[in-house]
Structures are given as C-alpha cells and as structure tokens.
Structure 1
Amino acid sequence: MEKKRNSFKGSIGFVLAAAGSAVGLGNIWRFPYLAAKDNGGFFIFCYIILALTFGFTLLVTEIAIGRKTKQSPLTAYAQINKKFRPLGTIATLVPIIILPYYCAIGGWVLKYFISFATGDGVAAAADNYFTDHITSLWLPIILMAVYVVATAAIVFGGVNKGIEKTSRILMPILFILICCIGVFALTLKYTDADGVTRTGLQGLKIYLVPDFKALTLKSAFTTIFDALGQLFYSISVAMGIMIAYGSYVNDDTNLMKSVNQIEIFDTLVALLAGLMIIPSVFVFMGKDGMTAGPGLMFISLPKVFAAMGKIGIVVGVVFFVMVLFAAITSSVSIMEAIVASLMDRFHWKRNTAGVVVLIYSLVAGTIVCLGYNKLYFELTLPNGTVGQILDVMDYVSNNIFMPIVAFFTCILIGWVAKPKTIIDEVTKNGEKFNRKFIYNVTIKFVAPALLVVLFAQAIGLFSF
C-alpha cells in the first residue's frame, strides 16, 4: 500500500479524468439513439433537467464520499457507516462485471478503426461485416486483449503519470474531433433513388425540435426514464468510479466548481454526439437508420461513411479515433475503480493489484468474445430482451446492481449519515453549496423514488 495516497495535481486534471470516465461509448451511440427515438428536443430537455438535479446529486455525493474517506468504493461506505459495508462490495462488483465486456466492445472499435485506417472502410459497410467479425473465433479475442493491455498500461502508470496525463491529452483531442465531425455533419446533403433530398440541417431539426403533437403521457414517461437510465451511462455514478476518483482529489479543491465543470463537459459531449450522428444517419439512411444499441455505431454509421465516397473513409478514421479515445478513458476509470479497491482492502501495491485485474480482464473478456460463437446461447431477460453473455452482464450491472447502489447511497446519505455529511465536505474551504435545497430534496425523496421505479421497470414488473 502506498504510504501517501496519490492525488490529482490540479482540479483540471481531475475534471478531465472524471469527464473522460463519463464520456464513453454510452454517450456516442446510446444518447443519439435515445434522442432520435424519444422525440428529440423533449428527450434533451428531460435529460438536462435530470442532469441538473438527479445527476448532480449522485455525482457530488460520490465524489465527496471519496474525498472525505480517501478510500475506494470497496471500503469507503464502511467509513461513513459500518452497517453499509456490503454496499461497497456491490458497488465494486459493478465495474468488475462491466470491465470485460466493455473491453470486448473496445476491441470492436479497434477493429473498425483498423479497417478504415487501412482503406477497408467500404468493406466495413457490408451487411454482414459486423456479425462476421464478432462471431469469428480469434480476431475479437486478440483485439480485446490489445485493448485491455492498453487500458492496463495507463492504470499501471498511476494517478498522475497514467490517468491524469492521459486525460489531459486525450480529452481535448476528443472534444476537437467531435466538434469537427459535428460541423461537417450539418453540411451533408444527399438525394436518394426516389429523388428525395435530405440535408444535415433537416436532421438537426429532428434532433433538437420536439414534436409536441406526437407527445403522449405514455411517451413522456418513457422519455423521462430513458433519460434517467442514460444518466447512469453518462456520468459514471453507481459504479464506484467517482468515489475512487474523488479519493484522489486534494482537500483544497473546489468540489462544487469541479462537479459543475464535469456536468457541463459531459452534457456538452453527449449533445455534440447527437449533433454528429443524427444528421449524418438521417441524410443517408433516413429515420430508419437509427437502430438501437451498438448497431448504430457498427452497422449504420459505416454505411453512412461509405455513402460519402472518398471523404467518408477519412471521416470514418477520424470518427473511430474519437470513439477509441472515448472508450479508453472510460475503461481506464472502470479498471482503476477495481485496482484502487484491491489496494485499499488488501494493502496491495498498484502493480500487484493491476496484474490481478489484467489477468481477470483477459480471461473474462475472452469468455465474452466466445459468447458469440463457442459459448453462444440465448436467454430471455426479465425486461423482455433476448441476449447472451455480454447482454446478461450488461443487464445485471446496469439494470440491477447500479440502481441498488444508487438507492442505498441515497438512503445512507439522505437518512442515516444525513446530507450535512456531504455538504460539510463540499464546503470545508468556505465554498458555497449551490442547489442545496435541490440536493436535500433529491437525495432524500426524489432520487430514491425514481430509482425504485427504474428498478421495477428493469426487472419487468411493468413497462410504459
């Protein structure tokens, strides 16, 4: 165990690292898909309102718990109240479950980047290209392993030389790339075989302008809870990451200012992802191109890039570089949450904990990859979807454990330790706690109620 806990050198390093964790694959494909599905501007409105209330509450709570205890998620909750020690175990299980399949998907991103970088982007647009890749035996495993090793190399570098340094480099580049692609998407224009011309600006209108005529009470509730679910993907709460990162924050850092910056950066990138993807897909494929899940990124967008002609190959390379950066900053934070927990719980050195997590990731990641061929099966999940190994892991972590962690975190802070525990930590240097009323009401009443409904929906008790 390190004699003195490492910390981020400055608030900018912390903000970029936390934003890097939040800005991941969920922002790139899931936010645009939900925005397109859920009435565009109305989804964005709901998301922003929830980010400023629900998201803010959970984010500031977890970061403050981390800084107050100087512990990772496995041990931090017990520092607040010993009876909540099991909550730390569940919170640590979330990144343990997520890391292998996230790295498997990272391998898919690496495959598409290589394809476009080597001029094979047209082939990547073929109907069976994605399916043929994930169902093949060795290549997905090899690329997953490369991705895992790259992630581990950053984690082995530690808080300053690894996580903070990488975030300071990759996040500004990612932001510039996503802005460039977003602006380019608005300039697109295409006339299909039926003579119908579609433009990027028309796609922008679909993305931003809500259709209130199509809005019903049922669709409104669906949109609200889709936006709520997206927040878990977007701000990296309820998976121990922000507690681990919070434990590396210096006591003199203005937490409120940092949390606000993380909120702004993450929401802005999510909005820009929609600006980048929805107009592009609309121009070349119409509304039908907005397929759910990874299919948007690995099936629809390659077809869009191929339809652009020669410039599409360049855009495809830039896009998958951007996605690769977004993915790696997130997988680093997921792995770090596990490594930090092992260091704090068992007093291991970073290299020891890192090797254990690296081996686990390679083994479990291989099993995930084999889930599409040698270990393939189909299982109907409680929410009605049919999936295999990756889908089961995603369901258990995101739909079961994360709402449980978030709910009991609210109970711990809202009713047991009291909100003053967090407020005092945030304001220890004389800072103002903006949105104090919202925080108190949300942590005690609003967030627990929403989480109960979200959990009930996830396990199939009802659907909108």
Structure 2
Amino acid sequence: MQQERSNFTNKLGFVLAAAGSAVGLGNIWRFPYLAAKYGGGTFLLIYLILAVTFGFSLMIAEIAIGRKTGLSAIGAFQSLDKRFGFLGILASAVPIIIFPYYSVIGGWVLKYFAVFISGNMTTSAADDYFPSFISGAFEPLGWFALFLGATAIIVLFGVEKGIEKVSKILMPLLVVLTLFVAVYGLTIDGAMDGLAYYLKPHMADVSAKTILAAMGQLFYSMSLAMGIMITYGSYMKKDNNLESSVRQIEIFDTGVAFLAGLMIIPAVFAFSGGDRSQLSAGPGLMFMTLPKVFNSMKFGGVVGTLFFILVFFAALTSAISLMETIVSIFMDKLHWQRRGTCIFVFVLALIMGIPSSLGFGPLSFISWMGMSVLDIMDFVSNSVLMPIVAFFTCIFVGFILKPKTVADEVKEGGAKFGAEKMFTVVIKWIAPIFLVLILASSIASALGLFTI
C-alpha cells in the first residue's frame, strides 16, 4: 500500500495544501478577537514568538513522522512504537469530531455568501437574523450538507488532482482578497484608531492568560495535534526541504491571520466607536457584527460579498484537510478505495453533524455546562483532546523516538536543519510544560474557575 501512496507533485503544492489546512476560520475570526481581547500588538508579538518556536517544533515533528512512515496517524505511531498506537487513535479522533461541526459553520458561511451575493445585505444586518437562521431546522441542515458535499467532491479527486490543484488556486486568491478588504476597511472613518490598537503593544496586558490564549490559538491556526500534518507529511516527497516548507507554511498562516485582524479590528472599531466588547463575540463577530459594518459602508455589498467568498475559501481548504485526514485513516487501516471511503466519510460526517446543526433550534435542550452541542464538540476536541495529543507527541518524540530521528528525516537528501537545537529543547522540555498548563486552564475555564 505504501508504494502506491499519492504524493504532492512538488514543494509548492505541499506548502499551499498544508497552508490551506492551517488557514481556516480560526485565522479569520478567532485570531482577530483574541488579538483585540489581549492587547492588540502585545498578543501579536507573543503569538509570533510562539509560532516560530512551539508551533514550528510541533509541525516539524508531525510532518517528519508522516513522511518517514508514509502513513496517516494511526499507522504512523504504531509502526514507530506499538506502545504509542493509542496516540494515533487519539489524534485520529480529533478530525473525526471536528469535521462535522466545522462543516456546520462552513454551511453558515455559505448561507451568508448567498445572502450577500443576492443583494440582501441589509436583511442580514438585523439583530435577530443570525439567531433566527441557526435556530431553524431544515435550512441550516441544507447549507451544511451543501458545504459537506463540496468538500467531499474535491477530496474524491485525490491529492494531486483535487487537493493540490484547488489549493494552488484558492490560497493565492485568499491572500489577495484579504489584502483588498483590509486596505478598503482602513479607509473608513475611525478605522485608524483600531489600526493603532491592533499594532501598538500594550505591555501591561502581558499575563499568563495572554500567553496561554496565544498558545491555544496555535492549535486552531496551524492544524496541530489532529493528525492532519502527519497525513500531509505522508504525501511529501523525500527531496522536498522539510524545514523550509514548514517556515513557509508558518509565514503563510501567520500572514493571513495578521491580515484578518487588519481586516476586522479597524472596521469594527470604526463601526462601534471603539467599543472592543463587540470584538469578543466569537463566531457572532462574523455573522452578526460584520454584516452591520458592511451595511454601513459605501459599496458594502461588494466588500461583504468578497469577505464571505474569502471566508468560504478559508473554511473549505481547512475542511478539505480534515476530510482527507479521515479518508486517509480509513484507507490505510481498512485498505478501502478512495471513492467508497469518501462516500462513507461524507455520510458519517452528515450523521454526526446533524446534532450540531440542530443544537441551536430543535435540539437546543441538549446542553452541558451551558454549552450547545456544537460548543461541546469544540471543547472536547480543541480544549481537551488536542493538548493531550500534542503533549504525548512531545513525550514520544522527545524521549522515545528521540529528536535525532526527526532531525535525520529533516536532513534527508542532504538538507540542513538549522533549528535543530531549538527544536530539541522545545519538544523535550518547553512544549510539554505549556501543554499541561493549556489543558489545565481549558478545564478550569469550562468549570468557571476563570475565563480565557
């Protein structure tokens, strides 16, 4: 099976596909509101430092494991050490949980794109529009199924003809659109105050919560600890420079996150008169506050349409990577063909996503700790499972597999590994400590002991 495994045709294809996985809804809405909440420039600085150390080290480890074994998460960990087979199962559970509810949100994005392109922007700016939409039964399900179907079709075409080809088109287009909307947003009266807040460090805001929030954002933003980078690494050719590829993915991912903040924070500042509380709305920022911003703009309909196109692209590229990871797991484990596996995963995700889609309406009575079904799935996958997977990955690479094994894979074909010493220190000592703190803070936050 390994000899028949698909590959990205070249380094560019791999980098754009992996960057497409990393760039998603976490970049577009989560990064901006966290940056606003935790001091603007201060959060940016801390996030950047963590991205080039902690994020770099974890991504290097995951891609190297995938390329070395030529397998997805379950098979990769089992082939390296059977005692750590459980880690592959845990890592594989993350995308299986995330993909259905992520596609529900992707359906919401698709709905708003349709609303804007049809000229109904003013209607979408009403306070009750978004709550009324998601509390319905059939319409949210329909958009969810449509988004899921679009993702499945691309994954069905495979690595080269599907994922790589789409990524080469969507990722550059995403950057251009984000830059255009960001520049346009800065022309609104009052936007420069938001820009100053976003870029100017506020060192008084530096705290343990700021650091932990920035660290947690890395998981959302860089597709770490969910088996995706292991899967994509398994498709990477040996002659591709692994270290430089990871650096390029980081630059792409962080650059889009930065542009998203540049696009959203100044515009919301201008609309709200500097009221930062509107930036803490999470998904509501995208679906409730921003339509009002666009509605107040000259040519807001055009800008809003472009915005939701790019958000759709970002959501789609991440959904593709989630589905491809799940498909790869079943193909590796059960030796199924791609077509049948894609159909199976589509049906599985459709069934699993229905409770999340209906959780704001017919199934709203289902809740835990004040969280809806979708929020519960998000908490379990992102706040519990991902830190656990990342922690054990660090322990495995640092003390069982040994950092030298990863370094040797990075150096394959005569390549250099300039950050080898930093990688070793971070993966063995620094990252595990931070990951324990992230897990503890996430659980404490869910229990209401304090809020991140």
State the TM-score bracket (shorter-chain normalisation).
Answer: over 0.9
Partner of 1:147: 147
Rounded to whole Å, the distance in 1 between the matches of 2:366 and 2:211 is 30
Alignment of 1:4-403 (within 5 A): 4-189=4-189, 198=190, 200-212=191-203, 214-215=204-205, 220-285=207-272, 286-287=274-275, 288-309=277-298, 311-377=299-365, 379-381=367-369, 386-403=370-387
Of 413, 430, 442, the match for 2:397: 413
Rounded to whole Å, the distance in 1 between the matches of 2:188 and 2:4 is 54
How much does 1:292 deviate?
Answer: 2.5
Partner of 1:449: 433
Partner of 1:194: none
CA gap 1:452/1:2 in 2 versus in 1, 3 angstroms? closer
* 1:305-347 CA-partner distances (Å, limit 9, x unpaired): 01114x0000000000000000000000000000000000111
Partner of 1:429: 413
Which AA in structure 1 matches 2:143?
Answer: L
How much does 1:367 deviate?
Answer: 2.0
Which AA in structure 2 matches 1:41?
Answer: G
Rounded to whole Å, the distance in 2 between the matches of 1:202 and 1:121 is 26
How much does 1:211 deviate?
Answer: 2.5
TM-score, normalised to structure 1, is: 0.94
How much does 1:269 deviate?
Answer: 0.6
CA gap 1:142/1:2 in 2 versus in 1, 3 angstroms? farther
Rounded to whole Å, the distance in 1 between the matches of 2:334 and 2:407 is 30
Rounded to whole Å, the distance in 1 between the matches of 2:53 and 2:281 is 27
* 1:22-58 CA-partner distances (Å, limit 9, x unpaired): 0000000000000000000110010000001100000
Rounded to whole Å, the distance in 2 between the matches of 1:156 and 1:242 is 19
* 1:223-261 CA-partner distances (Å, limit 9, x unpaired): 100000000001001000000000000011110110110
How many residues align? The count is 446
Rounded to whole Å, the distance in 2 between the matches of 1:434 and 1:206 is 35
TM-score, normalised to structure 2, is: 0.97
Contact residue 107 and residue 140 of structure 1 kept, 8 A: yes
Percent identical across equivalent pairs? 53
Rounded to whole Å, the distance in 2 between the matches of 1:452 and 1:463 is 16
Contact residue 331 and residue 337 of structure 2 kept, 8 A: yes
* 1:242-300 CA-partner distances (Å, limit 9, x unpaired): 00000000011110110110011101111010001001100111323213310110111
Rounded to whole Å, the distance in 2 between the matches of 1:78 and 1:409 is 13
Structure in which a larger fraction of residues adopt helix: 2
Rounded to whole Å, the distance in 2 between the matches of 1:411 and 1:379 is 35
SS in 2 for 1:9: coil
Which AA in structure 2 matches 1:251?
Answer: K
- Over aligned residue pairs, what C-alpha RMSD do you find? 1.2
How much does 1:2 deviate?
Answer: 7.7
Which AA in structure 1 matches 2:345?
Answer: V
Rounded to whole Å, the distance in 2 between the matches of 1:167 and 1:179 is 18
How much does 1:378 deviate?
Answer: 5.3
